[in-house]
């Protein structure tokens, strides 16, 4: 159970949002919606512990989640709006670091997004959608219970969205939590919705 109460965040001197509260039960999902600049990405970074909240509280299973950012980092898997892949490395090499602490092999993570045939190709030869799939393949390597996704389906084809849907469903079936910011329809059945209007 991930619960937030009265969260507020500043970017530089500007108040991005305030009084954000929600509760996502184990196995639940939350979709963040709102116009550009309403703070969806900022909220995801805040939940990941990359950004300190200006006010409010975040609790995970009843404990303060942001008190120890290192513990929170181990709980979350974050896919930002940037793919965070290195063009000079191959698809498999890009995942190797993320796989260091994982129980899943790089090969299985690539297969989860149908990238196995591209494993040996340098990422600079991949298309934008294929890079996005590679970024999402990190989720398959993560053992963290909280998945934070920033526009996960941007540039993905229907088949890949289906693969993402399957991965998200199995994560939720294992009592994981998914929070995603998007403008597009997501394969997250029975997800709650949070509208950010901006401050």
Contacts with another protein by CB under 8 A lie at 45, 48-52, 69-70, 73-74, 76-78, 80-86, 88-89, 93, 96-98, 100-101, 138
Asked if 95 contacts 134 with a C-beta cutoff of 8 angstroms, the reply is yes
CB of 82 to another protein, least distance (A): 3
Min. distance of Cβ 67 from another protein in angstroms? 15
The distance of closest approach from Cβ of residue 80 to another protein in the complex, given in angstroms and rounded to an integer, is 5
Distance from chain centroid for Cα 128: 18
Q: Cβ distance 42 to 11 under 8 Å?
A: yes
Largest Cα span, the chain: 47
Q: Nearer Cβ to another protein, position 12 or 197? A: 12
Q: Which residue has the tokens 């550009």?
A: 36
Element (H, E) at 134: helix 128-141
* Strand-pair category, 2-11 with 55-60: antiparallel
Q: Quick one: 11 or 18, whose CB is closer to another protein?
A: 11
- Which tokens hold the place of 85? 């892949």
Q: Terminal CA-to-CA distance of the chain, rounded, Å?
A: 26
Closer residue to another protein, CB minimum distance, 32 or 51: 51
d(CA 166, CA 188): 10
Closest approach of another protein to the CB of residue 16, in Å: 12
| Nearer Cβ to another protein (46/158) | 46
How many other C-beta atoms lie within 10 A of the C-beta of residue 91?
Answer: 26
Instruction: Give the nearest distance from C-beta 152 to another protein in angstroms.
Output: 14
For another protein, the closer CB: 101 or 166: 101
């Amino acid at each position: 159970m991930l619960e937030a109460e009265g969260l507020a965040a500043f970017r530089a001197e500007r108040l991005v949002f305030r009084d954000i509260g929600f509760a996502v039960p184990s196995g639940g999902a939350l979709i963040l919606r709102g116009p550009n600049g309403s703070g969806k990405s900022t909220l995801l970074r805040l939940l990941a512990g990359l950004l300190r909240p200006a006010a409010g509280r975040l609790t995970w299973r009843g404990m303060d989640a942001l008190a120890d950012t290192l513990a929170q980092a181990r709980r979350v898997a974050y896919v930002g709006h940037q793919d965070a892949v290195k063009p000079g490395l191959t698809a498999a090499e890009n995942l190797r670091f993320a796989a260091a602490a994982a129980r899943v092999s790089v090969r299985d993570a690539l297969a989860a997004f149908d990238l196995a045939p591209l494993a040996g190709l340098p990422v600079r030869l991949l298309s934008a959608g294929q890079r996005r799939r590679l970024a999402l393949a990190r989720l398959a390597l993560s053992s963290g219970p909280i998945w934070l996704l920033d526009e996960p389906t941007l540039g993905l084809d229907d088949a890949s969205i289906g693969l993402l849907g399957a991965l998200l469903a199995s994560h939720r079936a294992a009592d994981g939590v998914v929070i995603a910011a998007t403008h597009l329809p997501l394969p997250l059945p029975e997800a709650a919705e949070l509208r950010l209007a901006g401050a």
